[in-house]
């Protein structure tokens, strides 16, 4: 999960994922034409996303084409949902404690 969250922390990588989701699949050249970064930077970002399991690439002739791996995003989303539910429970307990203490002798 650390690799996924680290990959998603970068706004350029999130924009790359958005562009790939819109295209279905694309090359680094196509992505670089849409984003304000060089093709070489796109290739490096795609490498990070690939290692995190968020994109997959395959060769078509001389081109490498990439697509989003939605399953990996689903795993991350379920993990974040679980963490959010745990925090909601903790915050509700704190609220109950605070409200209970506020009804003392005034």
Please classify residue 49 by burial: count the beta carbons closer than 10 Å to its beta carbon, then call 0-12 exposed, 13-18 middle and 19+ buried. Answer: buried
Q: Which residue has the tokens 């791996």?
A: 69
Strands 26-27 and 55-60, bridge-based pairing: unpaired
State pLDDT tens for residues 32-48: 999 999 999 999 999 99
Give the E-state strand segments of the chain in sequence order.
Answer: 26-27, 55-60, 63-68
State pLDDT tens for residues 45-77: 999 999 999 999 999 899 999 999 988 888 888
CA distance 62 to 86: 48
* Domains in the chain: boundaries: 1-69
Checking if the pLDDT of 106 tops 60, the result is no
Share of residues in the chain with pLDDT > 70 (%): 95
CATH number of the structural domain 1-69: 1.10.10.10
- Taking the model in full, what pTM does it have? 0.76
């Amino acid at each position: 999960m650390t690799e996924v969250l680290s990959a998603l922390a970068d706004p350029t990588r999130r924009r790359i994922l958005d562009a790939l989701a819109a295209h279905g699949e694309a090359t680094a050249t196509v992505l670089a034409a849409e984003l304000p970064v060089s093709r070489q930077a796109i290739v490096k970002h795609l490498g990070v996303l690939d290692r995190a399991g968020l994109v997959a690439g395959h060769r078509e002739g001389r081109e490498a084409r990439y697509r989003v791996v939605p399953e990996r995003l689903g795993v991350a989303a379920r993990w974040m949902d679980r963490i959010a539910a745990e925090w909601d429970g903790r915050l509700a307990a704190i609220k109950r404690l605070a409200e209970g203490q506020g009804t003392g002798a005034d």
